[in-house]
A and B are shown apart, each in its own frame.
Chain A
Amino acid sequence: MRTLFAKSRILESKIDEFLDHTSAVSLLFLEAVRDYLNGRDAEFESRRQQVSDLEKEADRLRLDVERQLYAETLIPESRGDVLGLLEHTDEVINNVKSALMQLSVEKPRIPDDLGERYVELADYCTRAVGELVSGVRCFLRNAVTVADCVHKVTFWEGEADKVAERLKRQIFEMEIDLCERLQLGSFVAHIDAVADMAQDVADRLTISAIKRSI
């Protein structure tokens, strides 16, 4: 019996670690955006590298959990839901990594009066991801409280959308080259995609929580 629960606890800690990485990635994302906008290139690259490392580690953990869940036929009725949630949460990490990679490669010149807006957008995305991580943790322990977290994800994603729209309008009203406007607009979309992805996972979470109720 001890072995039975010991195995579960090892797996639990792996899932927890995966969620910790997701949370850390979202916090690093906000700091990296701040660093980029403030011209702290070295710090930006360092944070980007950290995100990249965490993404690899999260992938490894996810695959490990996936293999173990299938090999030991654990949680048969919720296995699909749990794996789906982990895979889509991993997509959030990938989105963050991809957005930072774009910044690092393209190095867009962001006008000073837009900087605060970009930080605000990244902040809302980070909050959405933070609530998503809390939601997944709730799902694993007490499906009843998931709704509260999902509600907050939806709220921050909505706020992010509003900022993204305002930012895009502001960009396209500016007297700069069209290619520059398109590039700045694409970065708004890249960052906002993190919150959108968090919202997608939260939607899945709602359904999974309903299915999990006994």
Chain B
Amino acid sequence: MILLFLSSGLFLGWSLGANDAANIFGTAVATRMVRFRAAAITGGIFIAIGAVVSGGGPAATLGKLGAVNALGGSFMVALAAALAVLWMTRAGLPVSVSQAIVGGIIGWNLFTGSATDVSALITIVTTWVVCPVLSAAIAALLFLAVRGVMARSRIHILELDAGTRLGLLVAGAFGAYALGANNVANVMGVFVPAFPETSVRLFGVIHVSTSQQLFLVGGLAIAAGMYTYSKRVMMTVGRGLFKLSPVAALIVVLAESIVLFVFASESLQSWLVARGLPPIPLVPVSSSQAVIGAVIGIALVKGGKNMRIGLLGRIGAGWVATPAVAGVVAFLGLFFLQNVFGLTVHRPVPYALSEPVLERLAEEGVAEVALEELRGSRYPSARSLRSALDGIETLDADEARAVFEYGRVERFEIDPAGIEALDPTLLTPRQIEAVKALAWQTFEHRWMLHEALERKSSDWSVLPESEDSHFWNRRLVRNLAYVADAFRVDAASH
């Protein structure tokens, strides 16, 4: 059954591989500078590595937008995205899986009455616009640098050819890694919150989380799409790009890969944060639009001749049309799955505005007065809490988000058998000791569990942001999610 639910994600991954791999190896293969087999094998390996190693960042951002918490819902959201991509491609729009999946998630939020995190949505949409612009800027700078170096170095045309071949393979591998890291969230991100906990320990030392396993499967689906179907797309895209010259095409691939990497790399984000610079949001972006941006960047440096300005308008249209189509398809599809096939597309999440929750919210700056009339009330679903909150005019969007975050009821029972099964390669000994100290206790909210753990050990404390603490805090969030998943029991049954 799980495989059946995953099938839409696998299909989405396959189509992403078939289409987007051409952006990475299209030029190299179409011109026979790199053999298709070599490109497909290199691409497949690096896509899978990128997906497993760095797929988490963009997936977390998508998760903020909406946590699809039932496999039926995940299935429909991925299917809606796949169908939107298929239709929009036929309509000739430069469509992106990244944009389709966001539409699908919003469709799920609307259908289930879940809150859409507006700030996460704004971050994601801003990134879509920034992606081609950044790609254009990087390509333009690389182009100027390479042209300068070539003019001075007097490199022979044949050596340049050999170097370009090697560069296309290396840039292709980097691009494949970045594509896997950035885009696997599109394929598997919606399955992560709904998937049963299946983390394993390899050889007793490497902890492979459920999401990493899903990302590996997603990465393999993308790789399969690349291996089985991308050759034809490569021939078309590659020849289109090739008009630029192989060196310029190499620059395009590099610029695209850098952009995908920038929007997927947690290490880069930590590095920026440590230096007091604004962090780059980790968001799945469109590789096709990054390529178009890079081509335009080079065209501008060359004097802006032969530019297809109309293409920019079409990209803009895609930003609106793709999520809209995917959202509508997801909404209608979820209705059918739930009401015609009787599938669970959403596990209702209960909310409680109990005394401790209101106190916690007050600490977060949400005025207790605003929520006074809701004090002590419980809500069976996000939709019912939403309608209750809609009546309170003094509550702004951020405060409402905090109410959803802290009011969410999840039941956690610290079962001693579960403590024994905790992975010591993932948690520190002091973290495990803290969990042991809470044996037999129960918690109604995730933040309560975290506070209790924090009281038992400082190893559960979030540190002030710095280069070192960024990694620590990231690990802390991951470990807390791991412990919460390990001890969560179905809240509805209590």
Instruction: Report if A77-B156 is in contact (Cβ < 8 Å); known contacts: A4-B165, A142-B151.
Output: no
Q: Of residues A1, A76, A82, which shows the largest number of chain B Cβ atoms within 10 Å of its Cβ?
A: A76
A12 within 8 A of B: yes
Chain A's closest residue to B248 (CB) is A214
Contact in complex: A214, B166 (CB < 8 Å) = no
Contact in complex: B154, A142 (CB < 8 Å) = yes
* Residues in B neighbouring A78, C-beta threshold 8 A: 157
Contact in complex: A76, B246 (CB < 8 Å) = yes
A75 within 8 A of B: yes
* Complexed CA–CA distance, A137 and B162 (Å): 18
B97 within 8 A of A: no
Instruction: Report if A75-B161 is in contact (Cβ < 8 Å); known contacts: A4-B166, A214-B247.
Output: yes
Chain A's closest residue to B161 (CB) is A75
Number of A-B contacts (CB under 8 A): 58
Shortest C-beta distance, A55 to chain B (Å), equals 24
Contact in complex: A140, B156 (CB < 8 Å) = yes
Number of interface residues of B (CB under 8 A): 23
* Residues in B neighbouring A12, C-beta threshold 8 A: 156, 158-159
Contact in complex: B156, A74 (CB < 8 Å) = no
Contact in complex: B156, A8 (CB < 8 Å) = yes
* Complexed CA–CA distance, A76 and B247 (Å): 12
A107 within 8 A of B: no
Chain A's closest residue to B147 (CB) is A214
Instruction: Report if A8-B158 is in contact (Cβ < 8 Å); known contacts: A73-B32, A144-B151.
Output: yes
* Complexed CA–CA distance, A214 and B246 (Å): 8
**A83-110 interface bits toward B, Cβ cutoff 8 Å, 1 = contact, 0 = none:** 0000000000000000000000000000
Contact in complex: A140, B157 (CB < 8 Å) = yes
Contact in complex: B151, A8 (CB < 8 Å) = no
Contact in complex: A73, B33 (CB < 8 Å) = yes
Contact in complex: A7, B162 (CB < 8 Å) = yes
B463 within 8 A of A: no
**B125-160 interface bits toward A, Cβ cutoff 8 Å, 1 = contact, 0 = none:** 000000000000000000100110011001111110
Shortest C-beta distance, A158 to chain B (Å), equals 29
> Which residue of A7, A77, A139, A140 is within 8 Å of B246 (Cβ)?
A77
Which chain A residues numbered 56 to 87 have a C-beta less than 8 Å away from chain B? 73-78, 82
**B417-449 interface bits toward A, Cβ cutoff 8 Å, 1 = contact, 0 = none:** 000000000000000000000000000000000
Contact in complex: B248, A76 (CB < 8 Å) = no
> Which residue of B147, B154, B158, B166 is within 8 Å of A1 (Cβ)?
B166
Instruction: Report if A74-B161 is in contact (Cβ < 8 Å); known contacts: A214-B143, A214-B245.
Output: yes
B87 within 8 A of A: no
* Complexed CA–CA distance, A177 and B155 (Å): 57
* Residues in A neighbouring B245, C-beta threshold 8 A: 77, 212, 214
A-B contact pairs, 27 of them (CB 8 A): A4-B166, A5-B159, A7-B162, A8-B156, A8-B158, A8-B162, A9-B159, A12-B156, A12-B159, A74-B158, A74-B161, A76-B33, A76-B246, A77-B31, A77-B246, A140-B156, A140-B158, A141-B154, A141-B155, A141-B156, A141-B157, A144-B151, A212-B157, A214-B146, A214-B150, A214-B245, A214-B248
